[in-house]
A and B are shown apart, each in its own frame.
Chain A
Amino acid sequence: MTTDKPKKTVSWRKSIEGRRAIGIIITFALLVPLGVAFVLPFIVMVSTALKPLKQVFAFPPTLIPETVQWQNFPDGWYGYGYVDFTTCTWNSLKITVNNIIGNLVSCTLAAYAFARLKARGKNFFFAIVLATMLLPNEALVVPQYVLFSRFGWLDTHLPLMVPPWFGWPFFIFLLRQFFLTIPEELIDAAKIDGAGHVRILMQIFIPLSKPALATLAIFAFIGNWNNFFGPLLYLRTPNVQTLPVCLVQYQGAYGNTEWHLMMAVATITVIPVLLIFIFGQRYFVEGIATSGVKG
């Protein structure tokens, strides 16, 4: 290890400004290529979506299509035998919107209770929230499948649309953390005015928590829109399928996948997520940071 002894003549490289400039150059030398790598999958997707099939299989591969074939988008949307993407999109949208609302309602109630109400047994139940927070649904899929088949819910949207109304530990935790930061004085003032807990929640907590609620809505949107496991498991008939499942049906069983059309539809399905991400980026980053460290 070298220790910098103060020298009489400081070279530019060692000077404070020089060091800072070199630091910035090194940082950008890493930031930019990595950034290119991170957007490359999208570029590949969009460029494939714009090529005629013959060009997709041309060697050597190119990123910029020689001829742009916009027709891939309508062809992909309507083109594949029994898969109708209009229906799939509608199904995905319906499930996603329902699940966002369900999650927001059920998690807000539980988070308020855990953040602001006193009750015996509260710590015990909160410990359960924390314990189940990291548990992925995949581990419970077998018994849940049995349960929902007993309910007669297979091949309907119910196994996907009902559970979100019963809370989600990760969201409850996130919202509770946010609710804890709302000043006690506001609640006391409302109580003096004779407000009950429902009114305090509706008139103070919800308006003040818009950023946190937006974060949850964005998380829920992306999670549900991209959900593949659940729909694949519970849905059979083509007309109840969601987008991700419709999309994999484009994969040809014998390697004769129409890549250009599949990538066109893939691009369309990714656009809503991209838009939500671009506009909600700030909420997103804050929400995740809260889950990890501040909490």
Chain B
Amino acid sequence: MFRRIMRPISPSARREERIFYLFILPWLIGLILFNAGPVFGMLGLSFTDWRISLDDLQFIGLDNYSKLFADPIFWTSVGNTLYIVVGRVVFGVSFALLLAILLNQKVPGIAFFRAVYYLPTVTAGVAVALVWIWIFNPRLGILNHTLKQIGITGPPWIHSSTWVKPSLILMSMFSVGPIMIILLAGLQGVPKELYESAEIDGAGNWAKFRNVTLPMLSPVLFFVIIISVVSSFQNFTEIRVMTEGGPGESSNVMIWYLWKHAFVFLNLGVAAAVAWIMFVILMALTGLQFRLGRRWVYYEGEAR
């Protein structure tokens, strides 16, 4: 390998190489300064007791981690995160798949529906989270009012510790736009011949879905599951605006736990430990995506 790097190259190739590094330089600096540096800093920080100022750093070894693991609220937040991850993967992804299948039908006006279905995703943010507080209002909210019309007494949604997580999952199903579009593109990529030959074999709609669509879609589905897991860790806005981790600790997720320790309790050491754990989980997911989902990344680029 050493010899390969030292291999003499022509002046023009060398010039091209210099331009390459010049062009990626901003990204490279950003990577080191804002990503790699912080990641290692975070690891270091997680072994220290940092309360007031950085000059008062005290090395305390694994204390932050043992404190963390001994804190039942931390485990509650892990459990809540897991609950939401599973909910969003199971309901969110299947809902997105249903939407993608609908949008893949050849009926007039489909572009309009695609835009409508995507709409809540682009507007996801504080404004819409505030609207959802109102929608979830047990007495005056549109949700329970509609349920009442069909004879169902609605639950108290975000005001109940049993219903708050299902509420957040339900709300997240309105912003499945990106995964819906990715699945739609995946559906459109399934070769028509496969459906035709399945039809010749006498397959019905369900059999076609089960034996052609799902297997052909599996790399895309896998990618989409990874994305929805990753985005489940990013639900800070909803939690901050709608529940503040409550009622009790019932919607305290990892990112909220981290936020409170870092910026409310001002204990950055513990927060860094939580952040490091989250980072490891997310990188492991990316690694998994890399290993199992190579097709997704290389297909077009390397074929040329």
Known: A132-B31, A248-B126, A251-B130. A122 touches B282 (CB 8 A): no
* Nearest CB on A from B118, distance (A): 7
Given A59-B140, A167-B27, is A292 in contact with B224 using a C-beta cutoff of 8 Å? Answer: yes
Out of B42, B282, B296, name the residue touching A142 (CB < 8 Å): B42
A254 to B42, CA, bound (A): 37
* Residues of the B chain whose Cβ atoms lie less than 8 Å from the Cβ of A142: 42, 45, 258, 262, 268, 271-272, 275
Q: Which residue of chain B is the closest to A259 with respect to CB atoms?
A: B134
- List residues of B whose CB falls within 8 A of some A CB: 5, 13, 16-17, 19-21, 23-24, 26-31, 33-35, 37-39, 41-42, 45, 54, 98-99, 102, 105, 107, 113-120, 122-128, 130-132, 134-135, 139-142, 145, 174, 177-178, 181-186, 189, 202, 204, 206-207, 220, 223-224, 226-227, 230-231, 233-234, 236-237, 240-241, 255, 258, 262-263, 268, 271-272, 275, 278-279, 282-283, 285-287, 289-290, 296-297, 299-301, 304
Bound: A119/B124 CA distance, A: 41
Chain B residue at minimum C-beta to C-beta distance from A63: B142
What are 7 A-to-B residue pairs whose CB atoms are below 8 Å? A106-B27, A131-B286, A134-B285, A166-B33, A248-B126, A292-B178, A292-B224
In the assembled complex, which residues on chain B have CB atoms less than 8 Å from the CB atom of A125? 24, 28
A143 touches B42 (CB 8 A): yes
B35 touches A132 (CB 8 A): yes
B residues near A291, Cβ cutoff 8 Å: 182
What CA separation (Å) do A176 and B304 show in the bound complex?
A: 13
Contact of A35 with B116 in the complex, beta carbons under 8 Å: yes
Q: Are A146 and B54 in contact (CB under 8 A)?
A: yes
Count of interface residues, chain A, beta-carbon cutoff 8 Å:
107
Which residues of chain B have C-beta atoms less than 8 A from A4's C-beta?
202, 204
- Which of A56, A233, A293 gathers the greatest number of chain B CB atoms within 10 Å? A293
CB of A141 within 8 Å of the partner chain: yes
> Are the C-beta atoms of B220 and A293 separated by less than 8 Å?
yes
Interchain nearest-CB distance for A122 vs B (Å): 7
Measured CB to CB, the residues of A under 8 A from B are 1-4, 23-24, 27-28, 30-31, 34-35, 37-42, 44-45, 48, 56-57, 59-61, 63, 106-107, 109-110, 112-114, 117-120, 122, 125, 128-136, 138-147, 150, 163, 165-167, 169, 172, 176-177, 180-181, 197, 222, 225-226, 228-229, 232-233, 243-245, 247-248, 250-251, 259, 262-263, 266-267, 269-270, 273-274, 276-278, 281, 284-285, 288-289, 291-295
B127 touches A228 (CB 8 A): no
Query: Beyond the given A31-B107, A136-B282, A147-B33, could you list 9 further A-B residue pairs with CB under 8 A, ordered by the A residue number?
Result: A34-B99, A113-B19, A131-B286, A133-B286, A138-B255, A140-B38, A166-B34, A248-B241, A270-B123
CB-based contact A113/B130 at 8 Å:
no
Q: Is the interface of B mostly helix, strand, loop or mixed?
A: helix
Which of A57, A119, A142, A263 has the most CB atoms of chain B within a 10 A radius of its CB?
A: A142
Inter-chain contacts of B240 with A (CB < 8 A): 228, 232, 248
Q: Are A278 and B42 in contact (CB under 8 A)?
A: no
Picked from B30, B33, B119, the residue with its CB within 8 Å of the CB of A38 is B119
